[in-house]
């Protein structure tokens, strides 16, 4: 995701948790990266969910995309077609607040029959390393992007360690 996030994050929020596991390995991770200008990046990885979710869920200011390597759905809207909005500072009757009736355009893509869009495999990982080291191919991941990722991970660990409780409180 950092490759799609060209601006260096200014603020980092991290929450690491052990929901279903014992020991010191987290099984639920939330990371938020916020630059001075630009979008907030919210990344959540969890082995604690009972239901499988889409591999990707990307929410933007003009719509939302969800899916996996084999199919994707997205909704977009032309917000310039909505009527002008005015702030209504007074209390509304029955606490019913005004909302826009957004007409979403739904789009769908499915991987063509017979095309292999399976996720990146361990075998492909080692073939890429072999091609880089032995065949002179350009690495799929640049050294700069690895350094950037390691820097963000170090900041996440430092931020999380500041938020860890110092002891266990027992309620009676």
Q: Give the tokens for residue 139.
A: 């690495």
Number of residues in the chain: 172
Confirm whether pTM is higher than 0.75.
no
Cβ atoms of 49 and 74 closer than 8 Å: no
Strand order in 63-68's β-sheet?
56-59, 63-68, 71-76, 105-110
* Domains located in the chain, CATH noted: 9-82+100-163 (3.30.360.10)
Q: Which of 30, 26, 35, 31 is nearest to 5 (CA)?
A: 35
Query: How far apart, in whole angstroms, are the C-alpha atoms of residue 104 and residue 95?
Result: 26
From first to last of its 172 residues, what are the pLDDT tens digits of the chain?
Answer: 677 676 777 788 888 888 888 887 888 888 888 888 878 888 888 888 888 888 889 998 889 999 988 899 999 998 888 888 788 788 878 877 777 788 899 999 998 988 876 666 788 888 999 999 999 999 988 888 888 888 888 888 888 777 665 444 445 4
Q: Which of 121-153 are b and which e, b meaning 16 or more Cβ less than 10 Å from the residue's Cβ?
A: eeeeeeeeeeeeeeeeeeeeeeeeeeeeeeebe
DSSP secondary-structure letter at 4?
Answer: G
Query: How far apart, in whole angstroms, are the C-alpha atoms of residue 162 and residue 128?
Result: 38
Give the count of beta carbons closer than 10 Å to the beta carbon of residue 33: 24
Alpha carbon of 103 to those of 50, 62, 78, 109: distances in Å?
Answer: 33, 12, 8, 20
């Amino acid at each position: 995701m950092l490759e799609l996030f060209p601006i260096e994050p200014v603020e980092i929020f991290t929450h690491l948790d052990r929901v279903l596991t014992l020991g010191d390995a987290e099984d639920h991770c939330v990371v938020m990266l916020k630059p001075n200008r630009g979008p907030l990046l919210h990344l959540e990885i969890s082995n604690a969910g009972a239901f499988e979710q889409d591999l990707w869920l990307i929410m933007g200011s003009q719509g939302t995309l969800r899916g996996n390597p084999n199919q994707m759905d997205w909704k977009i809207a032309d917000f310039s077609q909505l009527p002008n909005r005015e702030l209504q500072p007074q209390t509304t009757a029955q606490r019913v607040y005004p909302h826009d009736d957004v007409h979403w355009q739904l789009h769908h893509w499915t991987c063509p029959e017979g095309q292999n869009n399976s996720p990146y495999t361990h075998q492909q990982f080692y073939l890429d390393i072999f091609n880089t080291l032995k065949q002179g191919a350009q690495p799929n991941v640049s050294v700069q992007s690895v350094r950037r990722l390691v820097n963000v991970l170090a900041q996440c660990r430092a931020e999380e360690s500041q938020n860890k409780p110092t002891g266990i409180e027992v309620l009676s």
